[in-house]
């Protein structure tokens, strides 16, 4: 391919949607990925494109609105590659997650939908009676007063969605360089002039381009001055357990009924996909889930679903990724998306915190990064 207008480092959801944003502004992107497309956090995520109801617990209206807009983006642009999924969360008397608290959140969401114009594309949330859920799910019944029901989107085939986005961005053939690692920038007169990359066969190549966007997931923060440096990360993983899940919906449970961190379980490839569990990974370069991490997650699931046997099922697959966090302890997961243009002109770093909001962040960054093209395209 001729010299690209922009080289994007990273073939996850952030990189793919950044390529799409660039293409929609009339630029020719090239994507460089050191492994395979969606081999990082994107392809190992739980696959939820969530509508933001969870953020109303903490009255985080900004994140609610962003998630809602992002969910609509996926539905409008890739309707065949995402699907609605019913989510059920048991509610308990006297707990934060009680029917009264959930009804309040649902009423607030209905009001926000009316007043902000964020369309309600999926069925509105509802509260189910205790006996409607206790028969279907292996959940603790003591003090059970009902269950919250809402719908999120889920991505059934991440690879297919990613390839569709890249294809819409014109990133096919030579514009997609897999098994190619970005090493460092070529800078002239404090301007990006290119990117040096290493191919799988050891060859080093220089790609001439005036723009480089680093969308390298948890590795993005390491590109401080045009090359990698270490930064903190959390290890996050899901387990695909070799046991069928009893219903089509996703179930959200916690170790202490009605409070604490939630884990989801849903049917997937004939088994049960359980996630997401977080552990410290300070300084780790690749996700590495140890036997003790798996046991810790099994323990949490056993406490959340006592006597169900789900937690003891054989593990068919571990899906893991690294996520940016503030200190590497696994308890300070970053919730702030970062778009930085520090460094030579033509360099941008994007560090998103969610699959859900990746497209929104990419389009916002593109408009900030290439304001002239944005005006021309408007
Ligand atoms: C277990 C788990 C469950 C999750 N569940 C959800 C969920 O349900 N919903 C949700 O919204 N979010 C979820 N997330 C978060 C979400 O997956 C991430 O925020 C999102 O996928 C990040 O996308 P990304 O493109 O920034 O990073 P990644 O998908 O990690 O992509 C970065 C890519 O850059 C490549 N790369 C790095 N360095 C270089 C280099 N030097 N040269 C070339 N390539 C390089 C990597 O190989 C990688 O493929 C989950 C994450 C995990 C790990």
Tens digit of pLDDT for each residue in 169-186?
A: 999 999 999 999 999 999
Following DSSP, what letter does each residue of 128-171 receive, concatenated? EEHHHHHTTS----TTEEEEEEEEEEE-S-HHHHHHHHHHHTT-
Q: Which atom of ligand 1 is nearest to the CA of 223?
A: 41
The arrangement of strands across the sheet holding 180-188 comes to 180-188, 191-199, 204-208
Q: Which atom of ligand 1 is nearest to the CA of 181?
A: 42
List all residues whose CB is within 6 A of at least one atom of ligand 1: 9-15, 32-35, 39-42, 44-48, 181-182, 215-217, 219, 236-238, 275-276, 319, 321, 323, 352-356, 358
What residue ranges define each of the domains in the chain, with the CATH number in brackets?
6-42+159-230+336-377 (3.50.50.60), 233-324 (3.30.9.10)
| Tokens 């590495």 -> residue | 288
% of the chain surpassing 70 pLDDT: 93
What is the Å distance from ligand 1's center to 41 Cα? 3
* pLDDT band, very low/low/confident/very high, at 112 (cuts 50, 70, 90): confident
- Weakest mean pLDDT among 18-22, 122-126, 229-233, 252-256: 229-233
Flag whether pLDDT at 297 surpasses 70: yes
Say what the pLDDT of residue 377 is: 45
Distance in angstroms (rounded) separating the CA atoms of residues 215 and 338: 11
- Beta 29-32 vs 176-177: how paired, if at all? parallel
User: What are the Cα distances from residue 326, in Å, to 98, 334, 342?
Assistant: 32, 6, 19
Per-residue pLDDT, averaged over 1-29, amounts to 95
* pLDDT band, very low/low/confident/very high, at 311 (cuts 50, 70, 90): very high
Say what the pLDDT of residue 374 is: 47
Residue 171 sits at φ, ψ, to 5 deg, of -95, 80
Per-residue pLDDT, averaged over 186-196, amounts to 96
- Give the total residue count for the chain: 378
- 279 bridge partner residues: 235
What is the Å distance from ligand 1's center to 55 Cα? 21
Say what the pLDDT of residue 315 is: 97
CA atoms within 13 A on the CB side of 108: 18
Render pLDDT for 62-110 as a digit per residue (tens, 0 to 9): 999 999 999 999 999 999 999 999 999 999 887 677 888 888 888 888 8
Which residue owns the Cα nearest ligand 1 atom 2? 45
Residue of 47, 355, 356 to test ligand 1 pocket, by largest number of atoms within 8 Å of CB: 355
Flag whether pLDDT at 376 surpasses 60: no
Are the beta carbons of 353 and 337 closer than 8 angstroms? yes
Give the H/E segment covering residue 243: none
| Tokens 């944005």 -> residue | 374
CA atoms within 13 A on the CB side of 63: 18
Q: Which atom of ligand 1 is nearest to the CA of 354?
A: 19
């Amino acid at each position: 391919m001729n010299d690209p207008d922009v080289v994007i480092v990273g073939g996850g959801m952030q990189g793919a949607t950044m390529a799409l944003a660039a293409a929609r502004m009339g630029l020719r992107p090239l994507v460089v990925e050191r492994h395979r497309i969606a081999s990082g956090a994107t392809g190992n995520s739980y696959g939820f494109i969530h509508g933001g109801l969870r953020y109303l617990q903490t009255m985080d209206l900004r994140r609610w609105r962003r998630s809602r807009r992002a969910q609509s983006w996926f539905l409008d642009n890739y309707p065949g590659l995402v699907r609605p999924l019913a989510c059920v969360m048991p509610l308990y008397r006297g707990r934060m997650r009680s029917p009264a608290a959930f009804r309040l959140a649902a009423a607030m969401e209905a009001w926000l939908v009316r007043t902000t114009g964020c369309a309600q594309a999926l069925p509105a949330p509802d509260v189910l009676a205790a006996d409607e859920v206790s028969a279907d799910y292996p959940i603790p019944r003591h003090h059970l007063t009902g269950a919250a029901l809402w719908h999120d989107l889920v991505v059934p085939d991440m690879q297919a969605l990613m390839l569709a986005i890249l294809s819409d961005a014109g990133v096919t053939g030579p514009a997609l360089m897999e098994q190619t690692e970005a090493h460092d920038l070529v800078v002239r007169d404090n301007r990006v002039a290119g990117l040096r990359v290493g191919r799988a066969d050891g060859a080093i190549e220089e790609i001439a381009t005036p723009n480089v966007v680093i969308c390298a997931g948890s590795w993005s923060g390491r590109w401080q001055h045009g090359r990698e440096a270490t930064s903190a990360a959390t290890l996050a993983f899901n387990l695909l357990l070799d046991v069928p899940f009893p219903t089509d919906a996703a179930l959200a449970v916690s170790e202490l009924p009605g409070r604490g961190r939630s884990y989801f379980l849903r049917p997937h490839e004939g088994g049960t996909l359980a996630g997401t569990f977080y552990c410290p990974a300070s300084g780790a370069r690749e996700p590495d889930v140890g036997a003790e991490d798996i046991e810790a997650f099994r323990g949490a699931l056993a406490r959340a679903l006592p006597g169900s046997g789900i937690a003891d099922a054989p593990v068919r697959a571990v899906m893991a990724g690294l996520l940016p966090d503030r200190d590497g302890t696994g308890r300070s997961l970053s919730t702030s998306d970062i778009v930085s243009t520090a460094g030579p002109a033509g360099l941008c770093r994007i560090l998103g915190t969610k699959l859900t909001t990746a497209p929104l962040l990419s389009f916002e960054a593109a408009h900030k990064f290439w304001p002239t093209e944005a005006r021309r395209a408007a």
